[in-house]
Each structure stands twice: as C-alpha cells, then as structure tokens.
Amino acid sequence: MEFVRDLFVNIGAWFSGWLGGFLPAWAVTLIMGLIGVIILVVIGLSSVLVLTLGERKVIGRIQDRPGPNRWGPFGIFQPVADGIKMLTKEDIVPRGADYWMHLLAPIIIIVPALLIYAVLPFGAGVRGTDLNIGILYIVALGSIGTVAILMAGWSSNNKYALLGAFRVVAQLISYEIPMVLSIVAVVLLSGSMSMVKIVESQTVPYIVAMPMVFLVYLVSAFAELYRAPFDMIEADSELVAGYFTEYSGMKFVMFFMAEYINLMAMSAIITTLFLGGWRFLGVERLLPLLSPFIFFAKCGAMIFLFWWVRGTFPRIRIDHLLALAWKFLVPLALVNLMIVGLVDKLVEGALLTGVVLLVANIVEVVIVLAILSLVGHKTRSKRLQRITARPR
C-alpha cells in the first residue's frame, strides 16, 4: 500500500536507479530533470488547449449560443486551428520599439507560469518537488509576471500599451497584499509553507474553517489573473488591447498562453490551500490512485467558477477596483490574520480550532455586512442631499 500511495514518486526513484546502473550520476540528474520539465510543460500547454475550448463553450452557453462547433466534432479542434492561425501571422515590431525587451517580455511572462507547476501537489505522491517553502516560491514567481507586462508596455513605444502596463502595476500590487495576507493565515494555521504539508494538515478543508480568508483570496485571484470583472489590464474598449497592443503572431500567443496556464495554476493553488487538495472524505487513503482525479475535479470546479463569473458580471471602474483592494480587502485580510493568530494560539486541537474559527468567521461576516449596509446608507443619503440641493 505504501508503494501505491506514493506510486509516481516510487516510479521516479525506480527509473532513476535503473538509469544509475549504466550512467554517471550527473547524467541521471540531467535526464530526470529534463523528464520533469517536459512533463510540466506538457501539463501547462495541454491546459491551454482544454481551457480555451472549455471557456468558449461555457461562455457560449451562458450567452445562449453554441460556441465553437466547426472544427472537428463539437468543435474540439478549434484550439488547434486557432494555434495554426496565430503561428502563421506576421511578427511585427513597432518602429522605435526596444527590440530585445519587446522580444523578452512574452518569454519572461510564460516561463514563471510554467515553473509554478513544479511545486503543485496534483495527488498523493504526484508532484515535481516538495519544497519546504513551496508557497513562498509561488508568490515570488507570481511577481515576475508584473515585471514582464511592464516591459511589454514600455518597450512597445505606444502610449496605450504603456498606460495598460501602468494599470498592471496599480492593480497587481494592490491585490497582491490581501492575497499574501490570506496565504499567511493558511501558513499560520497549517504550521508549514510546504504545499504537501498544507494539504495534509487539512482534516477539515480551510474553506470551511476560514470562509472569509477564502473569499479574500478568491477576489484577489480574479484581480491577479486579470479576469472579468477585474480585466482592467486589457480593457479593449478603453485601451485598444492593453499592454500587448503592439504584439502579434507567436509573441501574442505566449501572452495568451500564460493567461490560461496561470488560470490552471491558480485553481490548483486554491484547491491546495483551501479545498483540501487531493483529500476527500478518506477516499484517497482507501484508493490512492484516485487522488489525482479528486484534485483535478476540485480544480475543474474552481475553473468553472472563473468562467461563470466572466460570463455574468460586467467590468468595474478602475477607481472602484483599487478602492475595493485598499479600503476593503486589505483591512479585512488583516482582521482575518489577527483572528487566525489568536485562535491558533489560544485553542488546542484541530477540530476545536476549526469550529472556533468558523464561529469567528460567521460573526465577522455579520459585522462586515452591517458596516457595508451603514456605509451604503450614508452614501445614498449624501447623494440624495446633493440631488435635492440642486437649483431647479
């Protein structure tokens, strides 16, 4: 049973030992590293093909239309057709642009997106590596994308692209703060920054014990992925096409791919931090080989949520976007962190800690709703006073 529970790790160890029988140690390390990289790249690129088709189908059904339905049965070859079209488009670099920075930006944005997969635990024993600072590694890689987008906007020699890039800096930095504070709450409760240890510590999924922490993280995730209703970075009705206005061909495809690779990675991170990862009612202990299917089923539910929100809610204004982060999410994340710290310090036992945290979160929800109601009432009163004070 132990061999089956860590099946993929054990297969890797067996294959490494077999190679070691006739190859030097450095060659074994190189080959195993290359195999790991190839697997992660295949997972990332496969997610792009599946998610682009899935999103267009789901959004089509929301809008009462069939979605892609020409290439292949049910349109399943549409992503392949789109890829061929984009790869055959001319690569244009604007006059006056910084050529090398314009070239490097899409590469820099897609490489960190793929590297995140190295520490994601896709099941019991199904992982690239178990870093003891795995979540810190993910946060660090996530910040590189902001630099790449700023490079893309600045190097394009286009004021609209530059304005779109500046919106990236404003939006992503604003929402990284509540996101990291929510991660700190999870790390504090689990006692580890290892992604595997975080999953193993969830006797009760943290979404049950800390629903407000999950909510703050989820809203921040929408902004970090710049998806509707927070897609201000690519507000094409206002900024042509945002930071990649001057990109075409393969370089544009790399930005597009990075978005969907990050979508899959973010869903996997949320599954790991809040949904119990590959754990589900003890099934993973009885049938260890089902653990990857459990993990990807939870990821699929989160991805569907991102699609549903995109097809349902309209884009919000940039000032409302930033105000939501600084005036609401950051204070709420700090309160969440304080509550988790106090409960973790004062209460003993995992089950009792979860119950106390849930009660504290329910009280917090009631207080937050009351404050929002009061603020909304004052805002409406002031607006009514301004309207009635106008001369007729």
Q: What is the pLDDT of residues 114-151, one digit of tens each?
A: 889 888 988 887 787 888 898 999 999 988 888 888 89
Q: What is the dihedral of CA 232, 237, 242, 244, to 10 degrees?
A: 140
Largest CA distance in the chain: 93
**Cα Rg of the chain, angstroms:** 23
Q: What is the mean pLDDT of the chain?
A: 86
Alpha helices, DSSP H only, in the chain?
Answer: 2-5, 7-20, 25-62, 78-87, 99-115, 134-155, 159-190, 195-200, 206-209, 211-224, 236-239, 249-274, 283-286, 291-310, 318-323, 330-346, 350-389
- Residue 300: pLDDT band with limits 50, 70, 90: very high
Residue 73 token pair: 């049965």
Selected residue with higher pLDDT from 243 and 2: 243
Nearest to 80 by CA among 332, 266, 253: 253
- Residue 217: pLDDT band with limits 50, 70, 90: very high
**φ, ψ dihedrals at 245, nearest 5°:** -55, -40
Rounded to whole angstroms, the Cα distance separating 114 from 309 reads 25
Residue 377 pLDDT > 90, yes or no?
A: no
229 preceded by a cis bond (ω within 30 of 0):
yes
pLDDT of residue 235: 60
94-117 pLDDT per residue, tens: 888 888 998 899 989 888 888 898
- List the Cα angle 255/260/262 in 5-degree steps: 90
Distance (Å) of CA 306 to CA 86, 278, 287? 25, 20, 30
Distance (Å) of CA 115 to CA 37, 50, 203? 9, 19, 29
pLDDT of residue 239: 55
- DSSP-derived letter for residue 275 is S
Residue 359 pLDDT > 70, yes or no?
A: yes
pLDDT of residue 186: 93
Q: Which residues of 133-143 are buried (b: 16+ CB within 10 A; e: fewer)?
A: ebbebbbebbe
pLDDT of residue 138: 93
Residue 387 token pair: 């309207």
Q: For 264-275, what is the mean pLDDT?
A: 94
3-state class of 22 per DSSP? Answer: coil
Residue 1 pLDDT > 80, yes or no?
A: no
**φ, ψ dihedrals at 126, nearest 5°:** -105, 90
Q: Give residue 359's identity as a one-letter amino acid code.
A: V
Orientation angle between helical segments 99-115 and 134-155, nearest 10 degrees: 160
Residue 354 pLDDT > 90, yes or no?
A: no
pLDDT of residue 5: 56
pLDDT of residue 236: 54
Burial level of 350, CB count in 10 A (0-12/13-18/19+)? Answer: middle
3-state class of 223 per DSSP? Answer: helix
- Residue 32: pLDDT band with limits 50, 70, 90: confident
Q: For 274-301, what is the mean pLDDT?
A: 87
Q: For 192-197, what is the mean pLDDT?
A: 91
Residue 111 token pair: 């490489």
Residue 374 token pair: 């009061």
142: Cβ–Cβ under 8 A, 6 or more apart, which residues? 112, 116, 176, 224
Rounded to whole angstroms, the Cα distance separating 181 from 152 reads 29
Burial level of 206, CB count in 10 A (0-12/13-18/19+)? Answer: buried
128: Cβ–Cβ under 8 A, 6 or more apart, which residues? 36, 39, 40, 117, 118, 119, 120
- Residue 7: pLDDT band with limits 50, 70, 90: low
Burial level of 84, CB count in 10 A (0-12/13-18/19+)? Answer: exposed
Q: What is the dihedral of CA 159, 165, 166, 172, to 10 degrees?
A: 170
Rounded to whole angstroms, the Cα distance separating 224 from 262 reads 9
